[in-house]
Amino acid sequence: MEKEKDAQEKEPFSLKKEILSWIWIIVVAAAIAFFLNTFIIANSRVPSGSMENTIMTGDRVIGSRLSYKFHEPERGDIAIFHFPDDPTGKTLYVKRIIGLPGETVDIVDSQVYINGEPLDEPYIREPMDPEEPMHFEVPEGCYFMMGDNRNYSSDARYWHNHYVAEDQIIAKVLFRYYPFSKISWLDE
């Protein structure tokens, strides 16, 4: 043991070994970050006020990519998904799941109805502005998404493709982490 210690103490400093050591650390850290961001978590910035007051403009959120591997998306979940009207598949949206596969969604007199029953939505920012009645029939394997700030949300009501296929859903939002003064869990 003492011989090893003496050998380490007598070994001269090698800049090449030091640089290689740092490169190795950086490569391992990058591989871990890539793995986590590709298979475990989804990190997203919310650029608009469509989810206010739940998620504010500019907030950053973390979602679990594993959540929907073990159970189906549920009404009320906040999800990160590929915007269905973007043919490149690069645009990500963050919205709340409102309609489930096989359900009807009606919006009448500023109220959302699921299969004819009014939906209790304590999370919405303010009542919706009156609009013409809307009717949607959610196909199997798809979901109907809306923002919490209904009067300022470009959501499924206005998209060309009204429904988000299950395989387009990336993650279930778990918490907001930025700005740091407003860190909070959103998975409730």
d(CA 10, CA 171) in angstroms, rounded, equals: 53
Amino acid type, 100: L
Catalytic residue among 44, 64, 67, 95: 95
> Is 150 exposed, middle or buried, given 0-12, 13-18 or 19+ CB atoms closer than 10 A?
buried
Residue pair 163/139 in contact (Cβ under 8 Å)? The answer is yes
d(CA 148, CA 145) in angstroms, rounded, equals: 10
Residue pair 86/168 in contact (Cβ under 8 Å)? The answer is no
Residue 90 annotated as catalytic:
no
Residue with tokens 């700005």: 179
Residue 95 annotated as catalytic:
yes
| Phi, psi for 175 (deg, rounded to 5) | -155, 160
Catalytic residue among 50, 64, 67, 153: 50
Active-site residues: which are they? 50, 95
